[in-house]
Amino acid sequence: MKNFPVLAVCALALSGCAATSTTTLSGSAPNGAVAIYDSKQVARLPLPQTKAYPVTPTSHYEFKASGEGKPSLYGLLPMKYNGGNIAVGILLFPPALLLLHEVYPYYDFDLDQGVVRYRARETDNWTEYKPTEQEANNARRHIDFAASEPVAAIPRNN
């Protein structure tokens, strides 16, 4: 029983290191899709979509939203700070302070207006975000470059 508090703190710390948050991505464009670049790979998703993303210390998610007959929208997904991890980090586990950023639960890509709307709760009002030109150029460079990369051939066993 003496080790129970130590085990509880370790379990809490490990759960914080593997934290994820779930988001719902939507858009009104016909045949809408979004490509998300996370510094490792590009994931292409049809809209609407619900997906889990890891809580991350410094990373961000670049996106390309597209739809039939609409200009593509490039930029960064707005992210929120995780207050719970800040509190846990201060009280129990200082490395948890690194797990500050997470995706908002709701995003909507408006290709006509060139904005991303996001909110924390379904009942909240949308907050609009227009990507800067630099963010759009960075996302375009990463996502379009990844799309132009040839697919690696898988060796066949003969």
Tell me the pLDDT tens digit for each residue of 33-88.
999 987 778 888 899 989 888 876 666 899 999 999 999 999 999 988 766 555 55
* Alpha carbons within 13 A on the beta-carbon side of 97: 7
Q: Is 107 helix (H, G, I), strand (E, B) or coil?
A: strand
Q: What is the pTM of this model?
A: 0.71
Domain ranges of the chain: 21-80+101-148
Beta bridge partners of 38: none
**Residue pointed to by tokens 């470059």:** 145
